[in-house]
Amino acid sequence: MDTRRVEIQFRHLPPSDAIKEAVRRFFNKLNGLPCSIERCSVRLASERAEPLCGGPYFVHVEVEMQGQELAIDQASDVDVYVALLNALRDMHEMVRAAGLKRRCAA
């Protein structure tokens, strides 16, 4: 997948190259699945305007594939990375299942 189609937004969190790279690596892994990813969006947010004050942290992931849009939300009081990794893991499973379902229906 073309990584230019991956949108990453931060709200009340400083932009992080490590998070951006983790998201790009994740979506590159989706290329091996039996589906065509058209667009991906990841939004990371903290309730607090001061990023060093701790959570809760929220992650919203959207994937648009073959006319279907999948979305998932995760939250973590511990760390934004925990919420991100859980959301990406769950989205990977959703995309895989949707791709298999679509292939079986054909």
Burial class (CB in 10 A: 0-12, 13-18, 19+), 93: exposed
Homologous superfamily of the 3-105 domain (CATH): Ribosome hibernation promotion factor-like (3.30.160.100)
pTM for the model stands at: 0.83
Query: What backbone torsions phi and psi does residue 105 show, to the nearest 5 degrees?
Result: -75, -20
User: Cα-Cα-Cα-Cα dihedral of 20, 22, 24, 29, to 10°?
Assistant: -170
Q: How far apart are CA 63 and CA 72, in angstroms?
A: 9
Per-residue pLDDT tens, the chain, 106 aa: give them: 455 588 999 998 889 999 999 998 888 888 777 778 888 999 999 887 665 666 789 999 999 987 889 999 998 877 888 899 999 999 999 998 887 776 545 4
Task: Tell me the two tokens of residue 93.
Answer: 């499973």
What pLDDT does residue 104 have? 47
